[in-house]
Structure 1
Amino acid sequence: MGKSDRIDVYLVAGGKYHNIDHARLEILKLLAEQPRIKVRVGEDYSDIEAICASDFIITYTCDVIPSAEETRRLCDYVRSGRKWFALHGTNSILRFLVNDGDFIVDCPEENVPFAHLLGSQFMAHPPIHEYDVLVTEPEHELVKGIPSFKVDDELYLSKFHGEYQTLLHTHWSEPVANFTSTEWMKKDDIQPVMYIHPYGDGQVLYLTLGHCRGKYDMQPDIEEYPVPEEGAWRSEEFYELLRRGIQWAMEPVPGTSCEPVTVQPAETAVAES
């Protein structure tokens, strides 16, 4: 018996230094708005057979790196015409070093094929602060009708690979303390916040927003984190972007043989204030 019109989704939600429980719950609630979606959930890429059997992947992770074999399977999966909606720290590899008694973060390029698949690798971020998220492609369906907005979040600085279409961006050009890498620095100060990266016959949609950290998420380094951080999860624009990203992932890549799906209509776009 076939699966009829069911859409199988695999959500990977796991990793370090973030309130993964909060992100997992909120993403599952958004997926539940689409009645045709059936979800499986994992903390990493170890259930690669189930991941590759899904119709699309959505990930919210930090320092969760697939093995060489898992990376190869993920590359084949997207290359074949599938979609991946990657959030926040999916592209991060973190190594904490000690320099003169202070911690410094290294982001080694230990899995280059994985970075090429995602289109980027996280390299640094300045201290969490409020910044403007600007619309780069105002006529694109993923951001159309959403005005520029402010978030109090991690501003991701990444090294990019291959072709990508920037949909949202912000500005940053200053050096960043406590990180070893400066490879993210470019001639201009435009930093992508949301982009589409073609890979083979498939596509990756990457959205860097979504930092969150709770009371116990820095253990064992910090027993109790003093002030919870909710980042863009406080923003209605972020939730609209998540909904649209899910709807984007439900649609086939143009020109592929993947069967089209019918999605629930998006909620009314965030009106300009």
Structure 2
Amino acid sequence: MNVHLIAAGKFHDIDFARLELLKLLAEQPQIRTSVASDYADLANLARADMLITYTCDLMPADDAQVAALDTFLRRGGRWLALHGTNAVLRFGADGVVDTPDLVPAFSQLLGTRFAGHPPIAPFKVFVTRGDHMMTQGLRDFRVEDELYLTHRTADIDVLLHTSFTGTCDEFRDADWDEPQVPVLYERSVGKGAILYLTLGHCRGHYDLRPLTSFWPHPQRCAWNYPIFHELLRRGIGWGLANARDG
């Protein structure tokens, strides 16, 4: 099974996330992994059975890269999208963060677009559908992480959710009253599918440059919780199942 991992972007400890994901992939001896820092490696994407992305503020650079992702899915590829894959961040002169839809074809393909999050704090995650291989046997759980708020851009099948009513003062899209905020969802595209898990924030001392030179408190959030690693392993298994079926 060929897996293509894209781990890159801003404001996160990408090196930590990349290493953790590679360690999980190495648990499956049949997997061979290629690694990239953007969406430009179309050759390895074309050979892949599964794509994994852990990014923030990283979009495909042109229409050809979006088209390659669409082709990958429609031929039967599986895409495990993590945390900030759907996020674009632009800091306004007033210090408030905008989240523009810079590549609409990409956000439509993913099914959601990041809009903001409240300060990191514990929140409860609910099992929306318990009959999926990602959620079978799971119970509702609590986790401390960034609670990602998104706008839906296409039909999605929500598997885990939380809720949020309040404000995100750092973001332009500040006011929210959402009874069902997707935490894990699946979206079918052609013969393939996307599995999007919004958990997984991480940040080290130097990941907010140039906004600030030193971040005093490294953050690992959901990476500290066994349930997150269970979901990642299940996500890799979800991709493996597709390769076997193919």
Q: Normalising to structure 1: TM-score of the pair?
A: 0.86
Residue number in structure 1 paired with 2:201: 211
Cα root mean square deviation, aligned: 1.5
Residue number in structure 2 paired with 1:271: none
- Structure 1 residue 163 displacement after superposition: 1.6
Contact 2:51-2:79 at 8 Å conserved across structures = yes
Alignment of 1:4-83 (within 5 A): 7-67=1-61, 68-83=63-78
1:162 corresponds, among 147, 154, 157, to 154
1:153 corresponds, among 145, 163, 172, to 145
Residue number in structure 1 paired with 2:190: 200
2:83 corresponds, among 66, 88, 91, to 88
In structure 1, C-alpha distance between the alignment counterparts of 2:20 and 2:59, rounded to whole Å: 23
CA-to-partner distance for each residue in 1:155-209, whole Å, 9 max, x for gaps? Answer: 0000112221111111102232121126x956x4210100001112211000000
Alignment of 1:85-234 (within 5 A): 85-99=80-94, 103-181=95-173, 185=176, 188-234=178-224
Paired AA for residue 121 in structure 1: R
Q: Secondary structure at the match of 2:92?
A: strand
In structure 1, C-alpha distance between the alignment counterparts of 2:204 and 2:162, rounded to whole Å: 26
Q: Normalising to structure 2: TM-score of the pair?
A: 0.95
Runs of 4+ in 1 over 2 A off after TM superposition: 258-261
The structure in which a higher percent of residues are helix is 2
Question: Could you tell which deviates more after superposition, 149-158 or 134-143?
Answer: 134-143
- Residues 259 and 227 of structure 1, relative CA distance in 2, 3 Å threshold: closer
Residue number in structure 2 paired with 1:238: 228
Gaps of 5+ in 2: none
In structure 2, C-alpha distance between the alignment counterparts of 1:98 and 1:249, rounded to whole Å: 42
| Structure (1 or 2) with the larger CA radius of gyration | 1
In structure 2, C-alpha distance between the alignment counterparts of 1:223 and 1:185, rounded to whole Å: 31
